[in-house]
């Protein structure tokens, strides 16, 4: 530890910033996140929180695939379902994309039936062969999925990082330094870490988050950490930073906090489009928590659409009407110029309990 003069800090910051290669910055592949955040800083701890069944795991897989296909090395820790489920979901994404863009018909594209080997189709078998070729072309060796049998603890995470590390001589100071050959680490999710003492659950979860933050700083690599939210009460609007699981100070430790929430009142079942609210509940770069973006999730293709709308929040609830072009922040205006605004549906009377501005 040492004290530094401000001028020394000024020059050091410039040196570090100028050394960043913009081509190596990881992005999300999700329009509202990339527009607002631009990318991930090397020492970012990005915590994504949502209730069960909202799509946290699917979002992580999309981010992993996006970065791997962009030539970034991704380490995926799919703790909840393991490596087999992760690759099954990834394969299904490629299959659905191929199926719905090829014009094929006659197959009941149901993920559960497919996992149970109930979809006996020559067309799917042919598509699977096409998918592996496409995955080899897009992903190459850029995606590693951690495989384990039982009990995943923070020490297992730390030890597994040896898979990506190597020693490199720093000629400037003539010392060997630990380098990491991974551009992004994704952990899904926090509540599946095994605890030494479950009675002190909140305290241990807090320590895990602190350890993960130390990893981002020591290895200079961004980490996306997924978390459950605390138990939902009937009056909660869009989740805020205080809704992260327990009292583990997640909001204080992370550099970026994002919450997801379904926009049930505008579900379009016939088109299999399901809008989701994204809210930045913690940001060190000036993003406001009093707004949220609603972006459609295309269930058939397992992807978010490129267009979205922005809402102002009254407390934790979105206003009835979305922001106009003039009201939107600049990063959203650029998207609105490029992509037509999606059609907003009027919530049905039977869904009044889901209306945010009732």
Q: What is the pLDDT of residues 267-289, one digit of tens each?
A: 999 999 999 999 999 998 889 99
Average pLDDT, the chain: 88
Residue 1 lies in a domain: no
Confidence of residue 248 (pLDDT cuts 50, 70, 90): low
| Residue 15, pLDDT above cutoff 50 | yes
In percent, the amount of the chain with pLDDT more than 70 equals: 93
Query: What is the structure's pLDDT at 340?
Result: 54
Dihedral class, residue 54 (left if φ above 0, else alpha if ψ from -120 to 50, else beta): alpha
Residue 3 lies in a domain: no
Confidence of residue 7 (pLDDT cuts 50, 70, 90): very high
Q: Indicate the helix (H) or strand (E) that contains 159.
A: helix 154-160
Residue 249 lies in a domain: yes
Lowest pLDDT segment from 123-137, 163-177, 223-237, 289-303: 163-177
As a whole number, mean pLDDT of residues 305-321 equals 94
Confidence of residue 175 (pLDDT cuts 50, 70, 90): confident
Residue 11 lies in a domain: no
Other residues' Cβ atoms within 10 Å of the Cβ of residue 266: 20
| Backbone angles phi and psi of 219, in degrees to 5 | -95, -5
Lowest pLDDT segment from 191-205, 329-343, 344-358: 344-358
Residue 279 lies in a domain: yes
Residue 330 lies in a domain: yes
More confident position, 233 or 295:
295
Q: Which long-range contacts (CB under 8 A, 24 or more apart) does 89-95 make?
A: 89/57, 89/58, 89/61, 90/61, 90/65, 90/135, 91/128, 91/131, 92/302, 93/61, 93/62, 93/65, 93/301, 93/302, 93/303, 94/131, 94/134, 94/135, 95/124, 95/127, 95/128, 95/131
Most confident of 157-166, 193-202, 339-348: 157-166
The vertex-275 CA angle with 269 and 279, nearest 5°, equals 160
Number of domains forming the structure of the chain: 1
Give the CATH number of the domain where residue 50 resides: 3.40.50.300
Enclosing domain of residue 46: 26-354
Residue 16 lies in a domain: no
Confidence of residue 147 (pLDDT cuts 50, 70, 90): confident
Q: Taking the model in full, what pTM does it have?
A: 0.89
As a whole number, mean pLDDT of residues 94-100 equals 90
Residue 125 lies in a domain: yes
């Amino acid at each position: 530890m040492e004290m530094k003069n401000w001028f020394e800090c000024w020059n050091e910051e410039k040196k570090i910033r100028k050394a960043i290669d913009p081509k190596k910055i990881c992005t999300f592949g999700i329009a509202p996140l990339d527009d607002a955040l631009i990318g991930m800083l090397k020492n970012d701890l990005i915590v994504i929180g949502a209730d069960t069944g909202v799509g946290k795991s699917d979002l992580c897989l999309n981010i992993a695939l996006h970065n791997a296909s962009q030539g970034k090395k991704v380490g995926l820790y799919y703790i909840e379902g393991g490596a087999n489920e992760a690759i099954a979901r990834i394969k299904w994404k490629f299959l659905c994309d191929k199926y719905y863009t090829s014009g094929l018909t006659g197959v009941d594209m149901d993920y559960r039936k497919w996992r149970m080997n109930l979809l006996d189709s020559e067309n799917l078998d042919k598509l699977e062969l096409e998918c592996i070729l496409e995955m080899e072309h897009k992903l190459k060796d850029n995606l590693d999925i951690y495989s384990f049998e039982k009990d995943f603890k923070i020490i297992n995470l730390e030890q597994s990082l040896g898979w990506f590390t190597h020693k490199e001589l720093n000629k400037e100071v003539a010392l060997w330094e630990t380098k990491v050959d991974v551009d992004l680490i994704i952990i899904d999710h926090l509540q599946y870490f095994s605890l030494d003492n479950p009675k002190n659950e909140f305290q241990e979860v807090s320590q895990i988050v602190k350890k993960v933050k130390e990893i981002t700083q020591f290895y200079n690599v961004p980490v996306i950490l997924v978390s459950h939210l605390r138990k939902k009460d009937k009056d909660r609007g869009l989740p805020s930073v205080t809704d992260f699981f327990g009292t583990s100070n997640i909001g204080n430790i992370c550099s970026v906090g994002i919450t997801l929430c379904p926009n049930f009142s505008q579900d379009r079942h016939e088109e299999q489009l399901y809008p989701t609210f994204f809210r930045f509940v913690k940001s060190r770069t000036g993003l406001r928590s009093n707004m949220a973006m609603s972006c459609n999730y295309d269930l058939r293709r397992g992807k978010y659409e490129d267009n979205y709308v922005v809402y102002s929040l009254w407390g934790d609830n979105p206003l009835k009407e979305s922001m106009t072009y003039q009201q939107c922040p600049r990063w959203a205006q650029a998207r609105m110029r490029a992509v037509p605004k999606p059609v907003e549906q009027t919530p049905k009377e039977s869904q009044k309990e889901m209306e945010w501005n009732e």
